[in-house]
Structure 1
Amino acid sequence: METNHTPDPTQPSAGRARQDTIYRSGVSGIRPAVPTDAVGLERAARRTMSRKAWAYINGSAGEGRTHDSNRAAFDSYRIVPRMAHGVKERSLSTTVLGQELSSPLLLAPVGAGALVHPDSDLMIARAAGRTDVPYVVSNQGSSALEDIAAACQGARTPGKSSENTGHWFQLYWSTDEQLVDNLIARAEDSGAGALVVTLDTTVLGWRPQDLNLGSLPFSRGQGIAQYTSDNRFLRIVRQRLRDKVSGGTGGVRVTPAAVASLLSIARHHPGPTFRNLLSPEPRASVETFLDIYSNPGLDWDLLATLKQRTSLPVVFKGILHPDDAERAFDVGADAIIVSNHGGRQVDGAVASLDALVEVRERIGDGPTVLLDSGVRTGRDVAVALALGADAVLLGRPHMYGLAVAGEQGVREVVENVLADLDLTMALVGAPDIAGLREMELRRSVPAPSRVTARRQL
């Protein structure tokens, strides 16, 4: 859990500072680079993104039930503000995994960002550095981890940034154990503050938006930069070429779209595009990635080996059941992220916010618990913190900001969320993050009851 942080009366609050910037610019006819409301931001991003980018970034599993339940859970809570509380200054700072953070916000890992912008990860990293928010670098990133870490650190303000490391690293557990060790070592060498192991994507969920377009960014060489920059992965690729191992489930018809895909693979692979077009390695890298990137056999015994494989704090992402939360800490997790992958994996899964409440009831206040999925505003962050989260990850909104206005768009999305959080704290009487624990919430609809899939006959 977080420690108390005393507000600094010499520093302007995040909310007032952001309002002041916007209104002063407005005098000159300058508007924010991105809409300040969640719905407007999403609409603006949709107008900007390609169909394939929108399908991947905004898409969800099945009929979108989990995606919708995430938002419905947040919307079901009502805040009861308190008056005359005398809160003049607020502190958003907190401590997570022993790291001093300037706010309880992190940027969630989002793969295949090159769909939105070729330099997506570098732009997000710089925005994260400038807003002093840790960026959880995606294992399916579009730039190498080392370059992303350098961009994040290079954008931080000396003397003004908090003491957090600037970035964490997300790991998808490959079927190749040496590759797993390589990725862990690279995370350590890059200065990552934690290793975030995603548990809920041992296979891809059924995602109609992508399927209807026949679009998987990885098959076009997008989102595999952590692999093509890894010497162990490249050794596997070259061995497969020597052994004439073919990947996939069948041949590819030669069509204009297939040629475009080949060009995309060549452009995203390290090295000159023309050379890559003449080499079998880029295509083999894509096929190898699709074969080995995730391990359907991942189990608790494998996860228990992590504490012997890394000195980094270990975070398990994708926990929804209280039993799994207990098991995660039993096998050595330092923290968990309650998450349903933004509704992208199981259609009709429990909302992350509802799962958070059940997890906290089971494990108590001591263990470190973060949350993602469904978070759109600073008010949402406040509700999640009040219900037991130690920190919150923001996913789709920062990608929407990237689509609308690049690096500045990401930065403004973060600033807007933190401003909204700060003003919510001011209006409910919470001087710090610990004070949000006292915020009164009422649920406008009954909480979902726990049922089993087995019907009573």
Structure 2
Amino acid sequence: MLTTPGPGAQSVVEFEQIARARLPGEVWDFVAGGSGAETTLAANRAALDRVALVPRAMGDLSGRHTGTDLFGVRAAMPAAIAPIAYQRLVHPDGELALARAAKRAGIPFTVSTMSSTPLEQVAEVGGTTWFQLYPLRDREQSRDLVRRAEAAGCAALMVTVDVPWMARRLRDVRNEFTVPAHVSAANFTDSSAAAGARQAVVGDSAVAAHTAATFAAFTWPDLTELRRAASIPLIVKGILDPRDAAKAISLGADAVVVSNHGGRQLDGAIASADAVTAVREAVGDRGTVLFDSGIRSGLDIMRALTLGADAVLIGRPALWGLAADGEAGADRVLGLFHQEFAEALGLAGCPDPAAARTLTIWRGSV
């Protein structure tokens, strides 16, 4: 059951400044920053803001609802929590608090390989849990993570394919950002690997150095092998080219996530909102298309659906709520997302999320 947003902030984006005021500067930069000159980070918002909806009039809205099915599980709205590393950076309860909020909101929570809480503990919260895999140099460790996720009851496996190494994120480089002592990569059983991002690197980000030493590029044969190994729905995250989307589906993926990693990998990459329609056309009805990078409101969820997505991933705003007021803050942010989406859906003349995909859109200048 979704919670109501309560008093205080009356839109999702208002939580951004609350979170910024409460977090140490270097942690805020880690959460908010992008790669390079942050061109793609800015482009994600600009592209969504260019999408104007043409509402329909005089339709029957008496049975209006916001629910949708995601891999056989009913979600209260077409959204899931994106995989986000090291959530205990922004609040001591980290992933557990956000997973509990997602459970109450009726949407899936994606636990990251780089979670600061073990995936098994997150799954024990009892909501719909997906597991996100970063391909690792230690292939047996990757396989073990998949086995652990399935044993813990995760309902889907999301492999991120756009991080063979971490792009230069200049805010983190300038800050020589290091994960603090109370935070670790809790899914790693090896203590040195778990603590890797805490090892300071002069003139660089410790997180980037840890990633370079730990992560591996992911190839098409790797996807085929992962599809054979995994018994749960497989989602491929980090797709922008429709040719890659079509090939992933042909090799057995159940879904793709149109994502530029929130502007945190290739700076200058196309905005996700400018890529999703072509991906939808390439995938057709053969798989699910999820949208990631830049979602900041319920209206943005509507925009993503009209562009061809089936659902979205909510990233940074979930952390804003967690940083602002822990679990209660996350509840309020997700409640606001639902309230904003329900209003946009109805005012656009759509009785349900599927109808949003039939709307006409107009793309203007920002």
Within-5 A mapping of 1:162-241: 166-217=128-179, 222-227=183-188, 230=189, 233=190
Alignment partner for residue 57 of structure 1, among 19, 24, 31?
31
Deviation for aligned residue 1:440: 2.2
Work out which of the two has the higher radius of gyration on C-alpha atoms and give 1 or 2. Answer: 1
In the alignment, which of 241, 246, 260 is matched to residue 326 of structure 1? Answer: 246
**Structure 2: how far apart are the matches of 1:69 and 1:288?**
27
SS state at 2:252 partner: coil
Q: How many residues are matched?
A: 361
Task: Map 1:258-297 to 2 at 5 A.
Answer: 292-296=213-217
Task: Name stretches of at least 5 consecutive residues in structure 1 with no aligned partner.
Answer: 1-10, 23-30, 157-165, 238-246, 254-260, 262-285, 447-457
- 1:437 is matched with 357
Give, in whole Å, the separation in 2 of the partners of 1:405 and 1:140: 23
Q: TM-score, normalised by structure 2?
A: 0.91
| SS at structure 2 position matched to 1:317 | strand
Aligned to 2:115, the other structure's residue is in SS state: coil
RMSD: 2.7
Q: How many Å apart are 1:177 and its aligned residue?
A: 1.3
Aligned partner of 1:7 in structure 2 is none
- State how 1:401-412 maps to structure 2 within 5 Å: 401-412=321-332
Deviations along 1:320-366, one digit per CA (max 9) or x if unpaired, are 01111112112221111010110011111100111101112223243
What is the aligned counterpart of 2:105 among 131, 147, 157? Answer: 131
Partner of 2:299: 379
Distance 1:388 1:410 in 2: 27
Query: What secondary structure, in the 3-state scheme, does the structure 2 residue paired with 1:83 have?
Result: coil
CA deviation digits over 1:394-427, x for unaligned, max 9?
0000100011111011111111011111111111
CA contact (8 A) 1:66 1:348 kept: yes
Identity, % of aligned positions: 37
What is the alpha-carbon distance in structure 2 between the residues aligned to residue 198 and residue 251 of structure 1?
A: 26
Counterpart-to-counterpart distance in 1, 2:208 and 2:281: 44
Matches of 2:287 and 2:365, distance apart in 1 = 29
CA distance in 2: counterparts of 1:316 and 1:83, whole angstroms: 37
CA distances 1:74-109 after superposition (whole Å, capped 9, x unpaired): 100111223322313321111222222222110111
Contact 2:80 2:313 in 1 (8 A): yes
8 A Cα contact 1:386 1:436, kept in partner? yes
Equivalent position to 2:52, from 70, 78, 82? 78
**Residue segments in structure 2 that go unaligned for 5+ positions in a row:** none
**Secondary structure class of the residue paired with 1:226:** coil
1:46 equivalenced with 2:7 (yes/no): no
- Tell me if the contact between 1:88 and 1:426 (Cα under 8 Å) persists in the aligned partners: no
> Deviation at 1:445?
3.2
TM-score normalized by the length of structure 1: 0.74
Counterpart of 1:384 in structure 2: which amino acid? Answer: A
The one-letter amino acid paired with 1:222 is: V
* Alpha-carbon distance in structure 1 between the residues aligned to 2:213 and 2:228: 23
2:96 is matched with 122
Q: CA–CA distance in 2 between the matches of 1:209 and 1:289?
A: 17
CA distance in 1, matches of 2:341, 2:208: 44
Paired with 2:209 and 2:315, the residues of 1 have a C-alpha distance of 28
**CA distance in 1: counterparts of 2:200 and 2:66, whole angstroms:** 54
Question: Could you tell me which amino acid in structure 1 is paired with residue 185 of structure 2?
Answer: I
Per-residue CA shift, 1:268-324, capped at 9, x if unaligned?
Answer: xxxxxxxxxxxxxxxxxx99965653103x211111101221101111100001111
Letter matched to residue 112 of structure 1: Y
Counterpart AA for 1:401: G
- The amino acid of 2:50's aligned partner reads S
The equivalent of 1:315 in structure 2 is 235
On the 8 A contact 2:95/2:117 being kept in 1, the answer is yes
* C-alpha deviation, 1:437, in angstroms: 1.5
Q: Which SS does the other structure have where 1:106 is aligned?
A: strand
* Pair 211,220 (structure 1): closer, same or farther in 2 beyond 3 Å: farther
Moved over 6 A (4+): 250-253
The letter of the residue matching 1:293 is: T
CA distance in 1, matches of 2:140, 2:364: 50
